[in-house]
Amino acid sequence: MAADLVLDTAIRDWVLIPLSVVMVLIGVLRYFVSKLMRSYQPPDPKIVKEGQLILRARNLRAAANFIPARSFRARRLYFSNEENGLLFVPKGQAQNAQAQMFSDPNMAMDMMKKNLSMIIPQTLTFAWVNFFFSGFVAAKIPFPLTQRFRSMLQNGIDLSTVDVSYVSSRSWYFLNLFGLRGLFSLILGEENAMDDTQRMMQMSGFGFDPSKSLGAEKDSLDIVQHDWSLPKFERRAEAVLKKLIS
């Protein structure tokens, strides 16, 4: 095994600490910029209504056995008849989310804003780190690791002889980029902290289609077998009262 590398203290003072501080500051700055650019969007009444509708239909499905058969049938007809039932979505009218996104420039604009506030500072800082700090061994983690971690921890130095527990400056940048969430939640408050990984998840969750869930709800409502459970309750009430009296 090679002798331990001695890292210059100047590297600590001029690479490790500045890099970390800059990353934190950029995170804070980005938070405020995205807060400034965020536009308030009033919720669409149609979407709110559909959400409530689904909730109510789900209630009906779950508790169907607690109301008389006639009431249940009337409600089911109201929800899922083929003419004007609330859950019935005529074919073709259901526009998919993609089309909706293109038809509404506001939505695309919003997404672009979010993207910009994420991508621009990231590219800039990456370029900055690459330009000034490439090639440094910036830190050492206090435990040994296997060779597989080399690409994660020693991005930017192509030396196979250096022990894996040394961290290169570029890798330090990446570690900061994804690992500062806890610190942000301390600085900016619990809900405000959002690191990039989360943001990416949010992006992929985009494109939820309400008409599809309406259709699914209608189908499951259609197959509900109504079995009024109240007649059973008379006997159960008898049992309860018997116990009470005795």
Rg, C-alpha atoms of the chain:
30
Nearest approach, Cβ of residue 35 and another protein (Å): 14
Closer residue to another protein in complex, CB, 55/111: 55
Closest to another protein by CB, 89 vs 175, is 89
2/245 with CB nearer another protein: 245
> Which residues pair with residue 168 across a beta bridge?
137
CA-nearest of 136, 156, 126, 123 to 14 is 136
Q: Report the distance separating Cα 195 and Cα 205, nearest Å.
A: 16
The first and second tokens of residue 131, run together, are 């330009």
The answer to whether 180 touches 206, Cβ cutoff 8 Å, is: no
Region of residue 92 (left: phi > 0; alpha: psi -120 to 50; beta: else): left
Q: Which one, 31 or 136, has the nearer CB to another protein? A: 31
Helices (H) and strands (E) counted in the chain, each on its own, are: 12, 2
Nearest distance, CB of residue 63 and another protein, angstroms: 4
Nearest to another protein of 206, 233 (CB atom): 233
| Least Cβ distance, residue 86 to another protein (angstroms) | 9
Smallest gap from Cβ 57 to another protein, in A, equals 9
- Read off the tokens for 126: 């990456």
Which residue, 40 or 143, is less far from another protein as judged by CB? 40
Q: Min. distance of Cβ 37 from another protein in angstroms?
A: 20
**Interface ranges with another protein (CB under 8 A):** 42-43, 45, 48-49, 52-53, 55-56, 59-60, 62-64, 66-68, 71, 230-231, 233-238, 240-245
137 beta partners: 168
| Closest distance of CB 208 from another protein, Å | 18
Are the CB atoms for 165 and 189 separated by under 8 Å?
no
- Alpha-carbon distances, residue 127 vs 124, 131, 182, 242 (angstroms): 5, 6, 25, 81
